[in-house]
Structure 1
Amino acid sequence: MIERLSDSNGIRYRLTPNRSISWPALVRVWLGLVALTSIVVAGMSLAGAWLVIPFAGLELVAVGAGLWYTARLCCRQEVITFGASRVLLEKGHEQPEQRWDWPRPGVRVLLDERPHPWLRERVCLCCNGEEVPLADFLNPRDSRQLVTLLESQGFPVRRRSREIEGVRF
């Protein structure tokens, strides 16, 4: 998802993955699974199959860890600030964890075209020989919107074909 933010230093955009469920709702889903599993495990334990208790606990821990990991990946974001003379790219979760600051005239956009219809285009910002992938989590429609946005900011887009395992499509 691409969201424009207000900024006094220039134009700022926040790029985030599409999220279908919020963290509190995800916790409620997991607690529902805990309640349902507890009822089933209690019934089976009363029937004499007490060995299901540790396996049910392990299952709930594994499902909870998977949900947490997925939710954490969905909370990442990238913020691009287009100033008059600088371009600032910040990547992170709750705060910037990585930061690139480039002179605006040296920034180029590199677009790796889709090698297969199932794959998306890969967008990179390039400056001084450094190539930084941009918003790998965007869906194809948002990725095209990002390229249009970068072109509207005056950055030249260079397209190149991408290969998979040495096969060029």
Structure 2
Amino acid sequence: MAASGVDYKITARPNCSLPPAGKVRLFALIATISLLISIAFGLAGAWMVLPFAGLELLALAFAFYIIHCHAEDYESITIDGDRLAVERRDGHHVSQMEFHRYWVHVLLRMNQGGEQRLWLRSHGQEVEVGRYMSNEQRLALAQQLKKRTGAFYQR
């Protein structure tokens, strides 16, 4: 990191352990089993099972599509000199926000579910970070950011 001139950088991604080819194979397996069962029911006289099996597979295909669209999501926090940059990818949308390193406030807020949420705020702008982290990871990140930003930072 020091070679590139960046003081601190962290990137968080969601856990997406199944590659695209695995998702296709899993969908094909589920579709095959579902269609075989629905055809058997159709041959036994319960033909109304077939359209519902088709709807089920359509809903499953849509769910796999949504998972695929968000497989490359990430959050990146970069501290470089006097600048703190946050870059987020959510689906196909990439957003960037920049803060002055020494003016940014690191905030932890408790949500209704009892989880801590990590926010960066400065001059009326704020952004939530750490969406792909556990509570413990967010707390550790908050400590790291507090050490490197605001009034706590010492060169």
Give the TM-score normalised by the residue count of structure 2.
0.80
Cα drift, residue 100 of structure 1: 0.7
- In structure 1, the residue matched to 2:138 is 143
Superposition RMSD in Å: 2.7
Alignment partner of 1:152 is 2:144: no
Alignment partner of 1:16 is 2:13: yes
CA contact (8 A) 1:123 1:133 kept: yes
- In structure 1, the residue matched to 2:88 is 91
Give the TM-score normalised by the residue count of structure 1.
0.74
Where 1:106 maps in the other structure, the secondary structure is coil
Inter-partner Cα distance in structure 1 for 2:2 and 2:73: 20
1:29 to 26, 31, 54: 26
1:32-51 matched pairs, under 5 angstroms: 32-51=29-48
Question: What per-residue deviation string (whole Å, max 9, x for no partner) do you get for residues 85-138 of structure 1?
Answer: 2111111147761111222222121111x366x521111111112121112332
Identity %, equivalent residues:
25
Inter-partner Cα distance in structure 1 for 2:11 and 2:58: 33
Question: What per-residue deviation string (whole Å, max 9, x for no partner) do you get for residues 31-53 of structure 1?
Answer: 21101011112212222322222
CA contact (8 A) 1:109 1:156 kept: no
- Count of residue pairs the alignment pairs up: 151
Task: Return 5+ residue gaps in structure 1 as ranges.
Answer: 158-169
Task: Return 5+ residue gaps in structure 2 as ranges.
Answer: none
